[in-house]
Amino acid sequence: MMTCVLVTGASGFIGKALLESLKDNYELIGLSRHDPAVDAVTFVQGDFASHSDLEQLDNVSIDAVVHLAAVTGGCDEGDGITVNVEGTRRLMRYLIDKGCKKFVMASSTAVCGFEDPEFIPLTFPIADEHPCLDEHGYGVSKFLMEEMTKYYHRQNPMIDVINLRLAAIISRDDFINMVTGEHKRSEWALGSITLMQIEDAIEVIRLAIDAEPLPGVRIMNAVASSISALLPTAELLRDWYGDAVDTSYYESEDTRYASVFEAELVKDEFGFIAEETLNTLVALRG
């Protein structure tokens, strides 16, 4: 019997690609306002934050949820809290009450606070659970979503929650354009050099779905192990921050192009390596 997976945000860029990739090996239900039009996927039209819309799933046994639906970067504080926090609370409450045990949640590397051009992380590389220093709304909404998952785990110790702090997910063509473009210290700057191709995003989500159940809450960066730029990492960081940051981690040959975010935990937990992204970077660097 195939694992039944609910995917919210099913008609979005990641959601539709995920459904297309997984449809032959899972029983998939796509929940969104618009039909993703993917064969062999059951479409449920609705809002993940609406209890009446969720009631369409009352007679379905759901093994796992991949929660992708959200308001994205640049949202105002009110929308971020309403959708990403309160909406997630409603979704989790409904699914826990009907017996769902696995939750794969799309968090964001932006939790740390890099929307602000003046942001400087506590350390480089940026830790998987770097505290939230966001001042603009989106990052804090994703942080509070993570806190909501901890709250529900305290109530329901057997649930398995994986909060993936995802890199910016884009197509290969867009990835090439951004990597080869100019990199300036600006809003979202650290996000602009922490990119991942869509194929790798699908793979890390699949690995999280398939991972052996482990009751608890995990938070991890879901990023490529390399910076999304042609310049070495230390050189770029010194150009942006001068002597305000410690770049010693990047001084060896092995870490010359290492990501500004830690990438070891997701590899250790799931065996994830962002192969498509890394292959493109190798080709671009010659």
Domains of the chain: 70-285 (3.40.50.720)
Give the pLDDT band of residue 74 (cuts 50, 70, 90).
Answer: confident
Say whether pLDDT at 1 is over 80. no
pTM summary value: 0.97
Q: Name 222's bridge partners.
A: 166
Q: Comparing C-alpha atoms, which of 117, 139, 123 is closest to residue 189?
A: 117
For range 226-247, the mean pLDDT: 97
Give the pLDDT band of residue 85 (cuts 50, 70, 90).
Answer: very high
Say whether pLDDT at 22 is over 80. yes
Say whether pLDDT at 44 is over 90. yes
Q: Is the peptide bond before 131 cis (omega within 30 degrees of 0)?
A: no
pLDDT at 149: 99
For range 195-215, the mean pLDDT: 98
Percent of the chain with pLDDT over 90: 97
pLDDT at 27: 98
* Phi (first) and psi of residue 188, to 5 degrees: 65, 15
| Alpha-helical segments (H) within the chain | 13-22, 51-54, 77-79, 88-97, 138-155, 172-179, 189-192, 198-210, 233-241, 264-270, 275-285
Residues 212 and 39: their CA atoms lie apart, in Å, by 28
pLDDT tens sequence across 245-279: 999 999 999 999 999 999 999 999 999 999 999 99
pLDDT at 136: 94
Backbone torsion region of residue 216, taken as left when φ is above 0, otherwise alpha when ψ lies between -120 and 50, otherwise beta: left
